[in-house]
Chains A and B, each alone.
Chain A
Amino acid sequence: DGGITQSPKYLFRKEGQNVTLSCEQNLNHDAMYWYRQDPGQGLRLIYYSQIVNDFQKGDIAEGYSVSREKKESFPLTVTSAQKNPTAFYLCASSIRGVGADTQYFGPGTRLTVL
């Protein structure tokens, strides 16, 4: 079955440590996205990539980094510079990254920094 996988589902880290969240898709989509969701709030865009080896900052990129070396993969690193990293992180993809395209979401990773 085609879809988006995120791992792990739950992640615990100590303050000051970098952590990398995995996102893989087998939908052959060009565009991929990372969102952050905090309780009772909408989604905020961290980074997005419309093509391999290219990515753009979203609204809240500070303290995060990404890479897009393969079409299928878009890992997100939460660095120690991110002041409040505890949140639910969602990865998504779409066919082309054009406005009317449907975004398909993974199941999310809940990151807790202790």
Chain B
Amino acid sequence: GDSVTQMEGPVTLSEEAFLTINCTYTATGYPSLFWYVQYPGEGLQLLLKATKADDKGSNKGFEATYRKETTSFHLEKGSVQVSDSAVYFCALSDRGDSNYQLIWGAGTKLIIKP
């Protein structure tokens, strides 16, 4: 079945460092890919998404490119801030799956130190 694998956390960086959080997937169809962010004690909110191969999603300085050849959707940011500390979830929705469910990665906790 479909699955999403994220790098394990926590990832600890200093402010202004470059961020990469790896996400790879397996899917039988043509998935849409998502990154969601969860700040402490809150629900999740969509950070960015891409619906077809080679699409780049971007928001708030974060970017991720849908790479079909490597089945990846890595999240990047050029210069992180303390306020970026949160848990980041990669997810997919496979158009070949009639259940319309999102398949979630386990989440990666990001800690940014001043």
In the complex, what residues of A have CB within 8 A of residue B44's CB? 43, 90, 92, 103, 105
Does B61 sit at the interface, judged by CB under 8 A? no
Complex Cα distance A40/B51, Å? 27
Contacts of A26 in B (CB 8 A): none
Cβ–Cβ < 8 Å partners of B95 in chain A: 99-100
CA distance A55 to B89 in the complex (A): 25
Instruction: Report the interface size for chain A: residues with CB under 8 A from the other chain.
Output: 26
In the assembled complex, the Cα of A40 lies from the Cα of B100 at a distance in Å of 24
Q: Which single residue of chain A is at the shortest CB-CB distance from B98?
A: A99
- The smallest C-beta distance from B1 to any residue of chain A, in angstroms, reads 11
1/0 contact string of B42-82 vs chain A (CB within 8 Å): 11111001010000000000000000000000000000000
Partner of A42, one of B49, B89, B101: B89
A19 to B46, CA, bound (A): 29
Do B49 and A102 have beta carbons less than 8 Å apart? Answer: yes
**Given contacts A107-B43, A108-B43, is CB(A100)–CB(B49) below 8 Å?**
yes
A51-98 contacts to B (CB < 8 Å): 56, 58, 90, 92, 97-98
A50/B107 in contact, CB under 8 A: no
Q: Are B106 and A45 in contact (CB under 8 A)?
A: no
The answer on a CB contact under 8 Å between B107 and A45 is: no
How far is it, in angstroms, between the C-alpha of A92 and the C-alpha of B45 when the chains are bound? 10
Once the chains are docked, how many angstroms separate the CA of A4 from the CA of B44?
12
The answer to whether B32 and A42 touch across the interface, beta carbons within 8 angstroms, is: no
- Considering the chains assembled together, what is the distance between the CA atoms of A31 and B102 in angstroms? 13
- Select which of B4, B36, B93, B107 is within 8 A of A99 by beta carbon: B93
Residues of A near B89 (CB, < 8 A) are 42-43
Which residue of chain B has the shortest Cβ distance to A42 in the bound complex?
Answer: B104
Residue from A42, A97, A102 within 8 A of B46 (CB atoms): A102
User: Known pairs A42-B107, A100-B51, A108-B41. 4 more at Cβ < 8 A?
Assistant: A42-B106, A44-B104, A90-B44, A105-B45
Top 6 nearest A-B pairs (CB, nearest first) are A105-B43, A99-B93, A42-B104, A100-B32, A105-B44, A42-B106
